[in-house]
Amino acid sequence: MRGFAFFHRVSRAFHDYPSIPKVLVVVAVSGCGLLAYAEANPERKLVSSAPVLTSAEVDNKKKKVVVLGTGWAGTSFLRNLKNPDYEVHVISPRNYFAFTPLLPSVTCGTVEARSIVEPIRNIARKKTVDVQFSEAACLKIDAVNQKIYCRSNVENNLNGQEEFVVDYDYLIVAVGANVNTFNTPGVVENCHFLKEVEDAQKIRRTVIDCFERASLPAVSDEEKKRILHFAIVGGGPTGVEFAAALHDFVNEDLVKLYPRVKDLVKITLLEAGDHILNMFDKRITAFAEEKFQRDGINVKTGSMVVKVTEKEIFTKELKNGGEVSTIPYGMALWSTGVGTRPFIKDFMSQVGQANRRVLATDEWLRVEGCDKVYAIGDCATINQRKVMEDIAAIFRKADKDNSGTLTVEEYKAVINDICERYPQVQVYLKSKQMKNMVDLLKETPDVSKGSAELNIEDFKTALSNVDSQMKNLPATGQVAAQQGVYLAKCFNRMEDCEKNPEGPLRFRGEGRHRFRPFRYKHLGQFAPLGGEQTAAQLPGDWVSIGHSSQWLWYSVYTSKQVSWRNRALVVTDWVRRFIWGRDSSRI
Instruction: Identify the band that residue 404 occupies on the pLDDT scale cut at 50, 70 and 90.
Output: confident
At 67-76, the pLDDT tens digits run: 999 999 999 9
The yes-or-no verdict on residue 361 having pLDDT over 60 is yes
328-346 mean pLDDT: 94
Neighbours of 511 (CB within 10 A): 9
Q: Does pLDDT of 33 surpass 60? A: no
- Going by C-alpha positions, the residue among 48, 129, 123 that lies closest to residue 81 is 129
SS3 578: helix
pLDDT over threshold 90, residue 465: no
Q: What integer is the mean pLDDT of 365-389?
A: 94
**Residue 567 half-sphere exposure toward CB, CA atoms < 13 A:** 11
Specify which residues 359 forms β-bridges with.
Answer: 380
| Structural domain spans, the chain | 61-177+340-384+472-521, 192-339+524-580, 387-469
Q: How confident is the model at residue 468 (pLDDT cuts 50, 70, 90)?
A: confident
Question: Is residue 155 pLDDT above 90, yes or no?
Answer: no
In whole angstroms, give the CA distance from residue 308 to residue 192: 12
Write down the mean pLDDT value for the chain. 87
If pLDDT is split at 50, 70 and 90, which confidence band does 162 have?
confident
Contact 184, 233 (CB under 8 A): no
pLDDT of residue 12: 55
**Region of poorest pLDDT, from 126-140, 188-202, 203-217, 405-419:** 405-419
> Does domain 192-339+524-580 fall into CATH 3.50.50.100?
yes
Q: Is pLDDT of 156 > 60? A: no
Percent of the chain with pLDDT over 90: 69
State how far the Cα of 574 lies from the Cα of 581, in Å rounded to an integer: 9
- The letter for the amino acid at 266 is K
Cα 40 from chain centroid? 28
Give the confidence band of 18 by pLDDT, cuts at 50, 70, 90: very low
Read off the pLDDT of each residue in 503-525 and give the average, rounded to a whole number: 93
| pLDDT of 4 | 46
Question: Is 421's pLDDT higher than 60?
Answer: yes
3-state helix, strand and coil shares in percent for the chain, rounded to the nearest 5: 40, 25, 35
Q: Look at domain 61-177+340-384+472-521 and name its CATH class.
A: alpha beta
CA separation for the pair 496, 400 (Å, rounded): 28
**Fold agreement between 61-177+340-384+472-521 and 192-339+524-580:** yes
Average pLDDT over residues 102-119: 96
- Residue 45 is predicted with a pLDDT of 38
Determine whether domain 387-469 maps to CATH 1.10.238.10.
yes
Q: What is the pLDDT of residues 78-100, one digit of tens each?
A: 999 999 999 999 999 999 999 99
Please give the pLDDT value at position 425: 87
Query: Among candidates 199, 202, 294, which has minimal Cα distance to 244?
Result: 294
Residue 50 has pLDDT above 50, yes or no: no
Long-range contacts of 506-509 (CB under 8 A, 24+ apart): 507/390, 507/393, 507/394, 507/397, 507/417, 507/421, 508/390, 508/393
- For 485, half-sphere exposure in the C-beta direction (CA atoms, 13 angstrom radius) is 9
**358 pLDDT more than 70:** yes
Amino acid in position 311: K
Range in 52-61, 213-222, 347-356 with the lowest mean pLDDT: 52-61
Stated pTM of the model: 0.86
Question: What secondary structure does DSSP assign to 499-517, as a single string?
Answer: HS--S-B-TTSSSB-SSPP
SS3 string, 324-391, reads EEEEECCEEEECCCEECCHHHHHHHHHCCCCCCCCEEECCCCEECCCCCEEECCCCEEECCCCHHHCH
